[in-house]
Amino acid sequence: MRFDRPFERYVVGERHRSRGRTVTEADIVAFAGVSGDFFPLHVDETYARRTRFGRRIAHGMLTLSLATGLYTLSPEWVIAFYGLDRVRFVRPVGIGETIAVESEVAELLDRDPASGIVVVDQTIVNARGETLVSGRIRMLVRKESASTGECE
């Protein structure tokens, strides 16, 4: 999703597809280290082979974090990430899998005179177009009349 303009310029129904990004073993190891989540499904190949997945898979929260990195975020307009709703991890994400984010503006919530919330239905898909993760994100975005060029 492109969060690159003032709140007033978003349109319900607007769609976007991000570029792709391949999930690597280094991503999984780094995320385990930063998060402290060393669950063996993510970091132990022998253990993971014996599971229903048959291989190591990315942490769900890593996949969400990588999706955030596929957004365009303009500091001039984005105030803050406001939340996640109804997130579902539909299919596992394996090492070497390329993901992309398909998004559609679902709602525009007028918050106050200076900002609004852009509500986006988000689907993280693989190269075959299969849904991996689905959910709704909320981004707090500055209104055009409130832009000062300063950080909040």
Decide yes or no: CATH 3.40.50.150 for domain 2-146.
no
Helix axes 25-35, 60-68, angle to 10 degrees: 100
Helix (H, G, I), strand (E, B) or coil at 36: coil
User: pTM for this structure?
Assistant: 0.91
Is residue 22 within 8 Å of residue 97, measured between CB atoms?
yes
Strands 21-22 and 131-142: unpaired
Q: Where are the domains of the chain?
A: 2-146
pLDDT at 151: 52
Burial 93-126, CB ≥16 within 10 A → b, else e? bbbebebbbbbebbeeeeeeeebbbbbbbbbbbb
pLDDT in tens, 126-138: 999 999 999 999 9
